[in-house]
Every structure is written in C-alpha cells, then in structure tokens.
Amino acid sequence: MKHLLALVLLLAAGGASAAPATTPDRIEPPFWWPGMKEPDLQLMLHGEAIGNLQAAVDYPGVEVVGTESTANPNYLFINLRLAPDVKPGTFPIQLLENGTRRSAFDYQLRARTAPPRGQRGFDSTDAIYLVTPDRFANGDAGNDIAPGMQEGPDREAPGGRHGGDIAGMRAALEYIANMGFTAIWPNPLLENNQPAYSYHGYSATDHYRIDPRFGSNEEYREFVAAAGEKGIGVIQDVVLNHIGDGHWWMTDLPDTSWLNGAGTGRGEYAITNHSRFTPVDPHASEADQRLFTEGWFVDSMPDLNQRHPLLANYLIQNTLWWIEYAGISGIRADTYAYSDPGFLEKWAGRIRREYPGFNIVGEEWTRNAALVAHWQRGEREPATGGRLQSMMDFPLHYALREGLTEKESWSSGLIRLYEGLANDFQYPNPERLVIFGGNHDTSRLFSQLGEDLALFRMAVAYLATMRGIPQFFYGDELLMTSPRHRADGIVRSDFPGGWNGDKANGFTGAGLTDSQRKAQAYVRALFRWRRTQPVIHRGQLTHFAPVDGPYVYFRHDNDNVVMVAMNKGDKPAPFRKERFAEIIGGKNRGVDVVSGRGYQLNHLQIPPREVMVLEIQ
C-alpha cells in the first residue's frame, strides 16, 4: 500500500507526453455565485495535457487574472475575479495555446438565495440529532446498488452497507421534529467509492458529489429545504484532513506534494502519532508536531497537505460551495486539530467572512478541558489559529459516563460532574460547546451505563438541561446497545423500523418493549420541553457540590428557575431547602416538567435512583 503513491506519481509524470489538449473532463467548482465578499474564484480543471494552456473570458464582470499549473500537466488552475455587480449567467471560457483556441467550456454563475439559508447557524437554542445515514432508514431501495460503486449492500455485515439514504432521513423528519430536535447532523454523505467499509462516509472519493447510494446532490438540497420547513437545520460533516485512497485524484495526483508523505518520490508515508497536544505543547519537538499533522490515519486514508496553496483554496471553496448550494445551517469538522493550523485559520476565517451567522463545531477528542479550550474562540475574537466558536465537549462526555457509573466517594461518582463543569473557567464560551452522551465513535450510552434505566434517565435529563448545545445519537432513545468497547459497526446498528420488514418500529412504536417506549417518551418529553425554554438556552447555571449525596444544579434567569436533582443512592435524599436559598429564595413549589406533578420544597424527598427536573414557582 505504501508504494501506491509511487505508481500514482509515475502515472502523473507519464502524462507529459500526452496527446493534444482536449476539453477538460472535470471542472471544480462546477458552478459558482456572484455577490460573494471574496471576489476571487479559482477553477481546477483536469484534462489531458491542459496544464500549459491559457484562459480567456468575454463576459461582463468576469476577469481572468491568470492561470497556474503544477508538475502534473493534466491540471490547470484558472484564477477569475468577479466584479461586485456581475450578473448570474452562463458564459464560455476558452482555452488557448499561444493565442490559438484549443477548446472551450461553459461556466455558470447562479443566482444566490436571498437571504442565504445558512445564516442562522446553530446555538444553545438547538438540540442536535446525530444520524449515521446508511443505518437510519432506507427510503429508496432502488439506490442500494449504484452504477460504478464498488460496494453493494450487505445488511448482515456490521461493517457493510445497509442501504439507509437521504430519502429515509427525509421521511423521518417529522419523527425528529416531534422528538424535540431542531438540528440533524448526518455523518458524511459525500461519495465514498471504496471497496469495503464505505458506509461511514469519512473516506471521500469525490468532493462535489453526494454518494449515489445515499441519493443525488439535488436530493440532498431538497432534504435540507424540507428539514428547514420543519424547523430543523442540517449540519454537514466535513472532513478536511484526509480522503479515501479511492479518490479520483489518486490515479492522477494534481501535484507531487498534494499529499503528506508524497514528497519523497518513493511514495512513503508515516502513520500519525495521534499526539494531539503537540500543537500547543511549548516543549514539543518539531518531529512530533510534524508527524501529528502530516501522518496518515490509516493506509486507506491519504493525508492532505493543506500547506499547498492550491489544495488549501480547493478545500475552502468546496466548503463554501456546499454551504451556498445546499443551504446548510452548520458544519461539524472531523478530526479538526489534525489539519494544518495555518490552513484552518484561513478556512474558518473565510467561512465567517462570507456567513457571519454560521457555526462550526470542531472535533478534538480529548479528556483535557484545556486542550478543547485552546481551540475555542470568544464571541468577537477572530478565528486566529483556526479557533472556532463551538467544540465537541469530550471532557464532559467522559465526566457524565464515569460520574454516573462510579461508586460515590470524595473523588468519584457525581463529583465528576461537578468538577468537570468547574473546568468551564477555561472556555471562552462554555455555552457554545456541544455536549453529548454518545456518538458514532463511542459505545452506546445505555450499554456504557450498564443498561441501567435509572442512570439513563439521569443522563438524558443532564443533556437536556445542561449548558451548551446537546447532541443525541440516533437510537439512544430506544435503548440501542453495543459492546462497551469500541465496535463501530455494531454501535452504528440499524434504527428499528427503518427497513421494510423490521419487527420493531421506532418511528411508530410498534413492536417496542415497554422499556423502550418509556425511554423514548422520556427523551421526547424533555427535549420538546427544552425547545421552548429560554432559561435553558440562555440562563445562568449554578450548581452545588454533591457533598451529601445528590447532585443539584439550577438554570435560572430573571423570571424562571429550573432545578435538576439527581440521586444515585438507594435511599430517598432529603431536600435541604435552606442550602439552596440563594437561588430559590422564598419559593416553595416545584412542578415536574415531565409528569406535571407538583411538590412542596420544604417537604421534598429526592427519590432513590431518580432524577427530578422541576420548574420552581
């Protein structure tokens, strides 16, 4: 495998003696829009021996600034400048050799959506539903096998393709909205034409094409619009760090340094050391820093050299293209810190410039709050070093799972939740962090909690009421299970009812166990309630150390107080009203937000192995 790149480079070099230039077989981006804040647009053309050609355009408001080429003669980069008043339309771009026309192609500037659909972004008013599309719902069995795609369906294989698609997600929008979620984050939908294990989406083989086994580009665009009509924003999963080794680039690399590890001329590369502290470690060696960002994840995921200016611009324009084309509400950036920091600054800065209200959440998989805090920026700070408004709150993820399952002591159990939250002093904006109990890379929440329904209810209540932006993994509301160690194919099992003939149906409730129905109803009640609660979205958070057993915290503003109290013990815990007087004052009544039952606080007992979410009146 490590000698694949040598073959690729040999093929590229062989193109130097190719036949005369022809019309390019690829033009990316395939079209663009006038009115962007950045007037420059760079087109990447691929075609036989076109690298030395020039370009000419005769269209009002479009200027050819110049062309660029690489060591591979089969690529030409055309730099265009669009005037502020350029009109939408289609125009020819001529390719010239020493002033003689060799070929031409039509290029289109499309009218922009007004106002751009992606302006709102997502924030703490939202709750995100995370979906692995191949495993959620098969709405169109006709695309399970697609022409030219190497891997077909095998629903019996945990690592195979199962047939879920965009049509299935679209059919489930009513269910998602009814559960109280306001955003959906599908794992990547771009083409992954790999021989095996292609369902997860993190090995892109074409940056401008939705995988046909999920649907078409237009179906994706229509799905985003349909979601918006139900009050649901779509968060696109973007992979900047790497591609799949089946990417069309790999048969004819745009340049010898397009990939990390390709510059030796031998096609050799190294696997990343995963030392994610190296970007911030003041004592880190250059070798360790370089290996972290330049090393490959695995043999089948070539690592992109984002220091290459043409590749960097390609990735930036590709992200903008999807935002504008599909109207998405946000981005989740995969393996964020593995990318080149200088590139990330340009990428994040350009997105923020074009879409000031847009939001991106980055993945930095670490228990260390200081490292996550490093990647988050303040509300009005520039995107220096690629810092983002939102990051995945992995430290709180671990605190939640461990705090609920450990035995109570001065250093374990619920104190984990308390101390984990105390780390908020390190974050510029803790309310912009995305909190979660599980995702596509972790074991299932219910399994990690020992399949304990009481602990599951505590975790759900915590996610629904804690500061930040909650993210919920599909099927967790149905108590889906997995091994407690990482087992991706099983963690991402099929959602019951997503396929014709399923014995149980999570969408309708048919065939579910009593425990599943109760768990689903509990999630639905809490997140539908959360959707209407500004005190949860924006209110202050005050918590009290669990020194006497229960863990109690409050969300409060000038008008409302919500109390969350969880008791892991086997006995009722008395509610000592006087301890919480600074928040509740003279109020003495609490109403359960799920059951509607009222309680007198001066007589309140927190039931054993229970969580209470009370509106204080």
| Model pLDDT for residues 222-245, shown as the tens digit of each residue | 999 999 999 999 999 999 999 999
Q: How many domains does the chain have?
A: 3
Check if the beta carbon of residue 433 is closer than 8 Å to that of residue 393: yes
pLDDT, average across residues 149-161: 97
DSSP annotation of 164 reads: -
Lowest mean per-residue pLDDT among 89-103, 246-260, 373-387: 373-387
pLDDT of residue 429: 96
Q: At 173, is the pLDDT very low, low, confident or very high (cuts 50, 70, 90)?
A: very high
pLDDT of residue 119: 56
Q: Is the domain of 516 the same as that of 543?
A: no
Tell me, yes or no, whether 404 lies in a domain.
yes
Separation CA 181–CA 528 (nearest Å)? 8
Q: At 2, is the pLDDT very low, low, confident or very high (cuts 50, 70, 90)?
A: very low
Q: At 113, is the pLDDT very low, low, confident or very high (cuts 50, 70, 90)?
A: confident
pLDDT of residue 20: 52
Q: Is the domain of 528 the same as that of 543?
A: no
Q: At 23, is the pLDDT very low, low, confident or very high (cuts 50, 70, 90)?
A: confident
What is each CA distance from 545 to 462, 579, 586, in whole angstroms? Answer: 16, 11, 22
Q: Is the domain of 240 the same as that of 378?
A: yes
Write out pLDDT tens, residues 269-304. 899 999 999 989 999 999 999 999 999 999 999 999
* CATH number for position 430: 3.20.20.80
Tell me, yes or no, whether 474 lies in a domain.
yes
Separation CA 600–CA 559 (nearest Å)? 20
The torsion angles phi and psi of 15, rounded to 5 degrees, stand at -70, -10
Instruction: Note the pTM of the prediction, 2 decimals.
Output: 0.94
Q: Is the domain of 44 the same as that of 143?
A: no
Q: Is the domain of 546 the same as that of 567?
A: yes
Separation CA 73–CA 70 (nearest Å)? 7
Q: What is the mean pLDDT of the chain?
A: 93
pLDDT of residue 11: 39
pLDDT, average across residues 455-462: 98
pLDDT of residue 397: 98
pLDDT tops 50 at residue 5: no
Where is the domain boundary, 508, 532, 556?
Answer: 532
**What H or E segment, with its residue span, contains residue 584?**
helix 581-584
Place of tokens 């200027």: 63
What is the extent of the structural domain holding 416? 117-532
DSSP lists the bridge partners of residue 592 as 614
Q: Is the domain of 607 the same as that of 527?
A: no
Write out pLDDT tens, residues 31-74. 999 999 999 999 999 999 999 999 999 999 999 999 999 999 99
Q: What is the CA radius of gyration of the chain?
A: 26
pLDDT of residue 265: 36
Tell me, yes or no, whether 330 lies in a domain.
yes
The torsion angles phi and psi of 104, rounded to 5 degrees, stand at -155, 160
pLDDT of residue 19: 44
Q: Is the domain of 555 the same as that of 435?
A: no
Rounded to 10 degrees, what is the CA torsion of 597, 598, 604, 607?
A: 10
Q: Is the domain of 94 the same as that of 146?
A: no
Lowest mean per-residue pLDDT among 12-16, 142-146, 205-209: 12-16
Write out pLDDT tens, residues 320-330. 999 999 999 99
Both tokens of 553, joined, read 């915290």
Q: Is the domain of 267 the same as that of 293?
A: yes
Write out pLDDT tens, residues 345-389. 999 999 999 999 899 999 999 999 999 999 999 877 877 889 999
pLDDT tops 50 at residue 95: yes
Tell me, yes or no, whether 605 lies in a domain.
yes
The distance in angstroms from the start CA to the end CA of the chain is: 66
DSSP annotation of 23 reads: -
pLDDT of residue 1: 44
pLDDT of residue 262: 61
Amino acid residing at 182: T
pLDDT tops 70 at residue 503: yes
Tell me, yes or no, whether 2 lies in a domain.
no
pLDDT of residue 261: 85
Where is the domain boundary, 109, 135, 158?
Answer: 109
DSSP annotation of 248 reads: G
pLDDT tops 80 at residue 85: yes
What is each CA distance from 363 to 50, 226, 244, 351, 373, in whole angstroms? Answer: 39, 27, 19, 17, 12
Choice among 134, 140, 363, 494 that is catalytic: 363
* CATH number for position 549: 2.60.40.1180
pLDDT tops 50 at residue 198: yes
What is each CA distance from 237 to 131, 319, 395, 397, 474, in whole angstroms? Answer: 11, 10, 21, 20, 16
pLDDT tops 60 at residue 21: no
Choice among 134, 151, 206, 334 that is catalytic: 334
Where is the domain boundary, 74, 109, 144?
Answer: 109
Tell me, yes or no, whether 479 lies in a domain.
yes
Helix, strand, coil percentages in the chain from 3-state DSSP, rounded to 5: 30, 25, 45
pLDDT, average across residues 315-339: 96
Tell me if residue 363 is catalytic: yes
Write out pLDDT tens, residues 515-531. 999 999 999 999 999 99
Q: Is the domain of 138 the same as that of 67?
A: no
pLDDT of residue 12: 42
pLDDT of residue 120: 73
Q: At 116, is the pLDDT very low, low, confident or very high (cuts 50, 70, 90)?
A: low
Both tokens of 80, joined, read 């265009």
* CATH number for position 85: 2.60.40.10
Tell me, yes or no, whether 122 lies in a domain.
yes
DSSP lists the bridge partners of residue 616 as 590
pLDDT, average across residues 552-560: 97
Q: Is the domain of 288 the same as that of 197?
A: yes
Q: Is the domain of 131 the same as that of 268?
A: yes
pLDDT, average across residues 497-512: 98
